[in-house]
Each structure stands twice: as C-alpha cells, then as structure tokens.
Amino acid sequence: MPNILFNFPLIAALLGVFSAQFLKIPIHFYHTKKIRWDLFISTGGMPSSHSASVTSLATAVGALHGLGSTLFAIAAMFAIIVMYDAKGIRWHAGEQAAVLNDLVEEFRNHVRESETFQQKNVEEQRKELKELLGHRPSEVFFGGLLGILQTLLLSWLFI
C-alpha cells in the first residue's frame, strides 16, 4: 500500500486548493486595499480553487500514467465537469442570490416606511443569501492555469 504522504496526484490537488485560496487574499488586497482573511475559506473569487485543484489532479495523473491512459481520461473529464459547473451553474446561482438579496432589501425599506408594520418582524425576516458561489470565466481559466503550472513544477520533485 503506497504511503499517502507521497501520493503525487493527491498532494498536487491539495496544493492547488490551498494555493488558489491563499492567492485570493493578496489579489483582493491589490484591488481593494483591504485584507480579508476570510477569503481563504470562501467560495468564488480569483483564482478558482475548484479549477486549480482539478487541473492539478488531472495534470499529475497525466504525468504519472500518460495522457493516453484511462486514468487521465477520467481525471480530465472530471476537471472539465467541475470547471463548467464552477463557471456556469454556481455563477448563475450567485447572480440569482444577488437579485433576491436586492429584492429583500427593497422590501425591508418599503416596510420601514409603512406605519402599520411592526419593525421587529422586518429584522427577524432578514437572512442574506451567499452571492459569491461560482466563478467568472477568467477566474476558472486562471485557476486551471495555476493548477497545471504548479503541478508541472511539483512533478520534478515526485517523478
């Protein structure tokens, strides 16, 4: 049984997640001049950790077993599906959450103006939906590029 600490595809995929999540902090700081440590455990944003992890996995499998192997085909298709989902479905769910949050806020403002509604009921009804769920195409692209490049560099240590 191989030692899990030397499982190149697993280490590459985990490094893809952690490096992409970490890079979100300085990228956000560059754009906003604000440090947000919570980005390390958040979804969405630049670069996509989904893309970085699955492309790292597929690249490592391809490096170990060859690009013509069945294992690489499985890993590559898994990566394509995850990246498509991160860009498509999850992004649109986040867009819908933003619209719903705006509607709830408008409703709350309307209710505040009404003299017949009790204020405490409005505050109890507020539960904001998470809007940053998915990724823009550029975030998916750069996450994927990060995963491939870092795994190619990492492969020199393992292969």
d(CA 126, CA 105): 8
Contact predicate 135/95, CB 8 Å: no
149: amino acid identity, one letter:
L
Highest mean pLDDT (candidates 14-18, 39-43, 113-117, 151-155): 14-18
Residue 79: pLDDT over 80: yes
For the segment 31-71, what is each residue's pLDDT rounded down to a tens digit?
A: 889 998 887 877 777 888 889 999 999 999 999 999 999 99
Q: Return the SS3 of 116.
A: coil
Q: Can the peptide bond before residue 47 be classed as cis, meaning omega within 30 degrees of 0?
A: yes
pLDDT bin (cut points 50, 70, 90) of residue 87 is confident
Say what the pLDDT of residue 117 is: 52
The average confidence (pLDDT) of the chain is: 80
pTM of the model: 0.66
Helix (H) or strand (E) holding 6: none
